[in-house]
Amino acid sequence: MKHQKTITTVLGYLLFITTSVFGQEKMYLNKWKAECQKSEAEFYQTIENVGTETPLYQIKTFSIDGVLLTNGLKEDVKKGRYINEFKEYYKNGNVSRIYHYKKSEKDVFVETFFPEGQKRSELILIGGYDEEKFLNAWNEEGEQICTNGEGEYFWKSEKNGKLYGGKMTKFHKIGEWTGYVEDLDITFTDTYRADGSLQKGQAVRQSDKKVFTYKDEYVYPYVLNYVLYKKVKSKINNLPKDINSDHVYISVYINKDGEGEYAKMRFTDEPTSESERQALAIVRKYLKKFNFEPTKNRGVATDGKAYFKFKLKKS
């Protein structure tokens, strides 16, 4: 199933909160995974340098009530991807996914597991992101039901205990697939063409049985008041280039009502140059005035993020 991302709050500069816990740093995070004060937190991270000769940081993410969610290693806390293994967990403590990172490869090999611990599938994240190439899958009894992209593929909701899935061919989905998005509490039925593209989909919100139809599984947010965007773009375009790149890349976090809540640099936790600092300050200044069409997950509005790319003036 498409990897669901937990995405990340408060406009302006956020306070970096850490406390020492037996040699670890403890960082509080809000729903966007941005640093915040403890009173605003929905998650927290512990960071520990476990390297011997060179820095190597073990980073664990927990829900605010102490349930382990992720665990992995990074060479730089603030940037770069994880190395070796990165694990995600079910609420019951069992591993749900293991991502296998290799420095020499952009693609990431992933193993997934049922909530009870049995191995469920193997897949590849193309380029390390959300495009999935399904390889092998097993049922709860350990029988292989998909081999080299041919067969069936199922997953089990930890919340309601039901199985969802469908058929695979040539490493992609085909025909009718069922599923459940736990965060939105929606069940869905998707129909895929022979080439793996989505033909149609229908979701039902369980709380009120409202029906949503869609042509795309996931639609990213976009700016509605383009005049304001052009104003912001013009201001940033006039900033002098003082870094290796001609552009600045900014992530904007948008709630389900289409309101911008928080902005940060896309590839680093903090700006690395004066031009980046000024560009981020401009976006944050106008962020609350923007109107966005929100993220749609199978037709249902939800929290999400957009990416801004601005060109700097050549010096």
What single string gives the DSSP state of each residue in the chain?
Answer: -PPPP-----SSPPP--EEEETTEEEEEE-TTS-B--GGG-SEEEEEEE--SSS--EEEEEEETTS-EEEEEEESSSSSS--EEEEEEE-TTS-EEEEEEE-TT-SSEEEEEE-TTS-EEEEEEEGGGSS-EEEEEEE-TTS-EEEETTEEEEEEE-TTT--EEEEEEETTEEEEEEEEEETTTTEEEEEEE-TTS-EEEEEEEETTT--EEEES-SEE--EES-HHHHHHHHHHHHTSBP-SSSSEEEEEEEE-TTS-EEEEEESSSSS-SSHHHHHHHHHHHHHGGG--EEPEEETTEEE-EEEEEEEEPBP-
pLDDT band with cut points at 50, 70 and 90 for residue 23: low
Per-residue pLDDT band at 53 (split at 50, 70, 90): confident
Residue 9 pLDDT: 30
The pLDDT score that the predictor gives to residue 168 is 96
Is it the case that residue 310 has pLDDT exceeding 60? Answer: yes
* Mean local confidence (pLDDT), 217-242: 94
Q: Is residue 292 part of a domain?
A: yes
Q: Which whole number is the average pLDDT over 9-20?
A: 34
Q: 82-96, 116-130, 167-181, 195-209: which has the minimum mean pLDDT?
A: 116-130
Report the pLDDT value the prediction gives residue 315, as an integer from 0 to 100.
63
Q: What would the mean pLDDT of 27-53 be, rounded to a whole number?
A: 92
Q: Which pLDDT belongs to residue 24?
A: 76
For the cut 60, the answer to whether the pLDDT of residue 184 exceeds it is: yes
Residue 243 lies inside a defined structural domain of this protein: yes
Establish if 255 belongs to a structural domain.
yes
Give the total number of structural domains in the chain: 1
Does residue 11 surpass a pLDDT of 90?
A: no
Domain encompassing residue 259: 222-311
Tell me whether residue 193 is in a domain: no
Share of the chain above pLDDT 70, in %: 92
Mean pLDDT on 94-106: 93
**pLDDT confidence of residue 19:** 44
In a domain, 154, yes or no: no
The answer as to whether 271 is a domain residue is yes
Query: Higher pLDDT residue, 172 or 22?
Result: 172
Query: Averaged over 100-114, what is the pLDDT?
Result: 93
Tell me, yes or no, whether 259 lies in a domain: yes
**Quick one: average pLDDT of 232-241?**
94
- Choice among 62-71, 121-130, 201-210, 232-241 with the minimum mean pLDDT: 121-130
Q: Is pLDDT of 270 > 70?
A: yes
Asked if residue 210 is part of any domain, the answer here is no
In this structure, of 194-208, 214-228, 233-247, the range with the lowest mean pLDDT score is 233-247
